[in-house]
Chain A
Amino acid sequence: MANRTSDKDRSRILFIAPAIIWLLTFTLFPLLYSLYLSLHGSRFLRVTHFVGLENYRMVLTDYRFWQAFRVTLIFVVSNVAATTILGLLLALLFNHPIKGIRLFRTLSTIPLFAAPVAIGYICMIIFYEEGGPINNLLITLGMNGINWISDPFWAKVAVCLADVWQWTPFAFLVLLAALQSVPDELYEAAALDTVSSWQTFIHITLPMIRHALVTVVLLRTVEAFKIFDIPFSLTNGGPGLATRTLTFNVYTTGLRDQNLGEATAIAFLLVIVMLSVTFVFFRIYRSQYE
């Protein structure tokens, strides 16, 4: 009996082992090594000596970090809000028996499969200030062209638009699936009570798709914090530091400036921020749910 139990345990361990090894090798070790790096000095990608929290102090007293933090927060708030609202509106619009809905759904996923760097480069053409399609259209309509890349405000808008264009289909698909799982009986009952469409949405639809909505917001928030490719390829973080995000800072500090200590310190600070946001989000969500 005892032998059979230990055989069972061994089998379990054998089955779990690959996953544990994978996790230790590719998640835990890099994480711990990054922590080690963030506590050491480095010069030209070589670790020099233990410096304690000096790298963190340097990062936190560098205005470039705070500027990138501010820019990242702007992108997180605006991109997540815009993606979710647009995705929800589209999902509500297409949550009806419409001819060709399947085709539209398939087509709508295309931006999701495009590489963000490619999107950035395509947007360089779209937002080109001297004769790009958008400015040409605006000028044809009798308006002034917009300084999409050369103006700090509009450069942020251009990055946001590119990111929202890529991620809205994700929100749309998830929320459409959620909407289609809401039982028709609820709507029929509401219709019998002659409840208005708005009240139906607030009291029936929204609570029923709440989990999907939370998933979309959470995943998008995490993604938005990591935004790098589009500002990298579209604006190069400029003009000045106007579109330089935290991940962009990690890249330039680590690979261009060869300063691994400060780069990993920024990365850890980013992780802390993301975990904090996620934790707070879940706390609020759980308190409401319970």
Chain B
Amino acid sequence: MRSTARLWLVVLLSLTLVLALGAVGFAQEEDMAALEKKTADEAFAKADKGNPDPSWQGKKFTIAVLASGPRGSISGPYYFWRPYFEQLTGATYEIAEIPFGEFQAKIFTDLATGQGMYDAITGPMFFMGDYIANDWIIPIDKYFDDPRMPKWDRDSIAEPIRNLLQFGDNWYAFNNDHDGMVIYYRRDLFTDPKWQAAFKEEYGYDFPLPPRTWQELLDVAKFFNGKDWNGDGKADYGITMHLKVGEQGFFNYLALAASFVVNPAPGDDPTKVTRYHNVFWFDPETMEPLINSPGHVRALELMIELVNAGPRAMLGWGLAEAWDVFLRGDAAMCFTFGDVGTLSQDPRQSAIRGLQGVVAIPGSTEVYDLETKQWKKLDQPNFVANESGASWSPVISKYSKNPDLVAYLCSLLATPEINHWNVAWGWTGVDPGTTYDFLPPFGTASIDDYVQTGYDPQDVTEFLNAYLEMWFDYPLSLPYLRIPGTADYIESLDIHLSEALSGQVSAQEALNRTAQDWERITNRLGRQSQLELYREAIGYTGQ
């Protein structure tokens, strides 16, 4: 009898505990939702709203975005800010969500056939070459001084990203997302004297904290790979990446290869584009691919070694799977976009909040000189910033029936207050890239903007400073490919990278195949016209 009563007591106490925990969790969620709404209202109140045209009332348009749902990356903000837009204009919009793998096919089909299903497209910026060459989108400069439009700060955007939004003398895309790749690492692990000593013993030099060259990074990844450093009884990984073919693994390669290939120009201006300097994709005189040149080959060889310092399964992983391994604490490093900086702060999916370090993309101590056809040894690493990623930004279709109304929405979301709110609330997938996202003394953001949304102060400081350093301090940047057929060129590279990384062919053979494909694509699209657009896209004047 007594034991039955005791049993009931245990059950009752357990239930009470579960309910109490649930209530606390629910209350926290409620608090966050209320805070989110409060800060959004404040941002909205402060943002410039222009003077919405009364004739817009009752109108409706469609915007195509990456399919991630109402609380997902890139698509989320469009759902979130819709009521605010409706309140201002009396108009509304539909959100057409398109999966990454189908994005190009759907958008290009719509634009090429002139159906005009999508008034605006928040797409990857590597579509820009096709947009421009086919005259599919409209320039947006005329809206900058339009009194109806909210004002946004173009000068505050990091230069590499700012360049992506323009083509020739015109602006075509509105400020939104700012993608680039960095290295995330486990700060607790890297600063542990035990591991530092073991590393020195194994590799013969001090633990690089953090790794600033690719060779150092490779050594660190190898060192931690296969060791049970988190004490869960299983071997852990050195590094994780997302390398499934057809996904976004090629961005990892581009970010890695940049410092082996992009050679600074001699003289006063290291950023000057010549035939042999600051080029990455093609020879700007002949349009011959550079993709199988020695710099690229060595970069891919290093990437193959990096793959061996992580789970082989990553060859079949998209973003979520690769991030998950790092977030749950099973990988020492993660080589990816800005999203992890945010996701790591969410205790529902991350075990590493407060333990995360971030470093700007490493450099290489050697770079291949296309002019002398020799490797150049450098005293300091060749640091090359990357805009690797889609930098999802809205453009207006020339078939849009309401381009001014569309421009109003895009301008509103580009205002510093709303754009920064999106960055601070990381679930939006909008990554930092403007001076108002970064911390003083360089930037104007307050660390409280981030801490109140759940960021650990040191995590977010490292996160923001890594991007700040890469985009504002690095002397060179990887030229983005923005010519017609970019998606074809990229698809070919993606396939052959996958072949090399999965051990089907050597690095040289994979890149030779890529070069062969690229020649076919160039010939099909017209070598001369491609050459002219390529020169314009990278700013090559032939001098």
A147 x B134 contact (CB < 8 A): no
Considering only CB atoms, which chain B residue lies closest to A61 in the complex? B520
A-B contact pairs, 14 of them (CB 8 A): A45-B108, A45-B112, A45-B113, A128-B313, A129-B312, A129-B316, A130-B311, A147-B315, A150-B315, A150-B502, A238-B246, A240-B496, A252-B491, A256-B488
Q: Enumerate A32-48 residues with CB–CB distance to B below 8 Å.
A: 43-46
A residues near B505, Cβ cutoff 8 Å: 240
B316 x A258 contact (CB < 8 A): no
B325 x A240 contact (CB < 8 A): no
Residue A239 interfacial (CB < 8 Å): yes
Q: Which of A44, A149, A237, A239 contacts B108 (CB 8 A)?
A: A44
B112 x A44 contact (CB < 8 A): yes
Instruction: Enumerate the 10 nearest inter-chain pairs by beta-carbon distance, A residue then B residue, closest first.
Output: A149-B316, A238-B245, A240-B499, A236-B246, A150-B315, A129-B313, A255-B105, A239-B502, A45-B112, A44-B112
Contacts beyond the supplied A151-B502, A238-B498, A256-B491: 10 A-B pairs with Cβ under 8 Å:
A43-B525, A130-B325, A148-B316, A149-B244, A152-B502, A235-B245, A236-B244, A239-B245, A240-B498, A242-B502
**A161-198 vs B: 1/0 string, CB under 8 Å?**
00000000000000000000000000000000000000
A residues near B109, Cβ cutoff 8 Å: 45, 255, 258
Residue B348 interfacial (CB < 8 Å): no
User: In the docked arrangement, what's the CA distance between A263 and B315, Å?
Assistant: 28
Considering only CB atoms, which chain A residue lies closest to B311 in the complex? A130
Residue B495 interfacial (CB < 8 Å): yes
B113 x A240 contact (CB < 8 A): no
Residue B524 interfacial (CB < 8 Å): yes
The smallest C-beta distance from A33 to any residue of chain B, in angstroms, reads 15
Considering only CB atoms, which chain B residue lies closest to A236 in the complex? B246
A240 x B246 contact (CB < 8 A): no
B247 x A236 contact (CB < 8 A): yes
Q: Given contacts A45-B109, A242-B504, is CB(A256)–CB(B524) below 8 Å?
A: no
Residue A241 interfacial (CB < 8 Å): yes
Q: Enumerate B378-410 residues with CB–CB distance to A below 8 Å.
A: none
B residues near A150, Cβ cutoff 8 Å: 312-316, 502
SS class, residues of chain A in contact with chain B = loop
B residues near A236, Cβ cutoff 8 Å: 101, 244-247
B interface residues, how many (CB within 8 angstroms): 38
Q: Enumerate A242-290 residues with CB–CB distance to B below 8 Å.
A: 242, 251-252, 255-259
The smallest C-beta distance from A144 to any residue of chain B, in angstroms, reads 11
Residue B104 interfacial (CB < 8 Å): yes
User: In the docked arrangement, what's the CA distance between A152 and B325, Å?
Assistant: 23
User: In the docked arrangement, what's the CA distance between A242 and B524, Å?
Assistant: 26
Q: Given contacts A151-B502, A252-B491, is CB(A235)–CB(B134) below 8 Å?
A: no
A residues near B247, Cβ cutoff 8 Å: 236
User: In the docked arrangement, what's the CA distance between A123 and B491, Å?
Assistant: 24
Instruction: Tell me the A residues contacting B by CB distance below 8 Å.
Output: 43-46, 58, 62-64, 128-130, 147-152, 155, 235-242, 251-252, 255-259
B residues near A258, Cβ cutoff 8 Å: 108-109, 112
Residue B501 interfacial (CB < 8 Å): yes
User: In the docked arrangement, what's the CA distance between A271 and B524, Å?
Assistant: 25
Instruction: Tell me the B residues contacting A by CB distance below 8 Å.
Output: 101, 104-105, 108-109, 112-113, 130, 134, 244-247, 311-316, 321, 325, 485, 487-488, 491, 495-496, 498-499, 501-502, 504-505, 513, 517, 520, 524-525
Q: Which of A43, A58, A239 contacts B316 (CB 8 A)?
A: A239
B residues near A45, Cβ cutoff 8 Å: 108-109, 112-113
A residues near B520, Cβ cutoff 8 Å: 58, 62
A238 x B105 contact (CB < 8 A): no
The smallest C-beta distance from A121 to any residue of chain B, in angstroms, reads 11
User: In the docked arrangement, what's the CA distance between A251 and B311, Å?
Assistant: 31
The smallest C-beta distance from B163 to any residue of chain A, in angstroms, reads 25
User: In the docked arrangement, what's the CA distance between A258 and B487, Å?
Assistant: 10
B101 x A239 contact (CB < 8 A): no
Q: Which of A46, A62, A149, A252 contacts B315 (CB 8 A)?
A: A149
Q: Given contacts A130-B313, A240-B498, is CB(A152)–CB(B504) below 8 Å?
A: yes
Considering only CB atoms, which chain A residue lies closest to B324 in the complex? A130
A residues near B488, Cβ cutoff 8 Å: 256-257
The smallest C-beta distance from A149 to any residue of chain B, in angstroms, reads 3
Considering only CB atoms, which chain A residue lies closest to B525 in the complex? A43
The smallest C-beta distance from B153 to any residue of chain A, in angstroms, reads 35
A257 x B245 contact (CB < 8 A): no
Considering only CB atoms, which chain A residue lies closest to B307 in the complex? A150
Q: Which of A151, A238, A259 neighbours the largest number of chain B CB atoms within 10 Å of its CB?
A: A238
B residues near A237, Cβ cutoff 8 Å: 245-246, 495
Q: Which of B113, B496, B502, B505 neighbours the largest number of chain A CB atoms within 10 Å of its CB?
A: B502
The smallest C-beta distance from B359 to any residue of chain A, in angstroms, reads 25
Considering only CB atoms, which chain B residue lies closest to A150 in the complex? B315
User: In the docked arrangement, what's the CA distance between A257 and B151, Å?
Assistant: 37
Q: Given contacts A238-B244, A238-B316, is CB(A46)–CB(B112) below 8 Å?
A: yes
B315 x A44 contact (CB < 8 A): no
The smallest C-beta distance from A150 to any residue of chain B, in angstroms, reads 4
B312 x A256 contact (CB < 8 A): no
Considering only CB atoms, which chain B residue lies closest to A151 in the complex? B502
A129 x B311 contact (CB < 8 A): yes
Q: Which of B104, B105, B316, B495 contacts A241 (CB 8 A)?
A: B495
Considering only CB atoms, which chain A residue lies closest to B130 in the complex? A44
The smallest C-beta distance from B5 to any residue of chain A, in angstroms, reads 40
A44 x B134 contact (CB < 8 A): yes
A256 x B104 contact (CB < 8 A): yes
The smallest C-beta distance from A229 to any residue of chain B, in angstroms, reads 13
B residues near A149, Cβ cutoff 8 Å: 244, 313, 315-316
The smallest C-beta distance from B470 to any residue of chain A, in angstroms, reads 29
Q: Which of B244, B315, B316, B504 neighbours the largest number of chain A CB atoms within 10 Å of its CB?
A: B316
User: In the docked arrangement, what's the CA distance between A264 and B247, Å?
Assistant: 25
Considering only CB atoms, which chain A residue lies closest to B487 in the complex? A256
Q: Which of B105, B113, B134, B498 contacts A239 (CB 8 A)?
A: B498
B491 x A257 contact (CB < 8 A): yes
User: In the docked arrangement, what's the CA distance between A257 and B504, Å?
Assistant: 25
B residues near A147, Cβ cutoff 8 Å: 312-313, 315
User: In the docked arrangement, what's the CA distance between A45 and B244, Å?
Assistant: 28
A residues near B315, Cβ cutoff 8 Å: 147, 149-150, 238-239
A residues near B502, Cβ cutoff 8 Å: 150-152, 238-240, 242
Considering only CB atoms, which chain B residue lies closest to A261 in the complex? B524
B316 x A235 contact (CB < 8 A): yes
User: In the docked arrangement, what's the CA distance between A117 and B195, Å?
Assistant: 46
Considering only CB atoms, which chain A residue lies closest to B246 in the complex? A236
Q: Which of A44, A129, A151, A237 neighbours the largest number of chain B CB atoms within 10 Å of its CB?
A: A44
B residues near A148, Cβ cutoff 8 Å: 316
B residues near A241, Cβ cutoff 8 Å: 495, 499
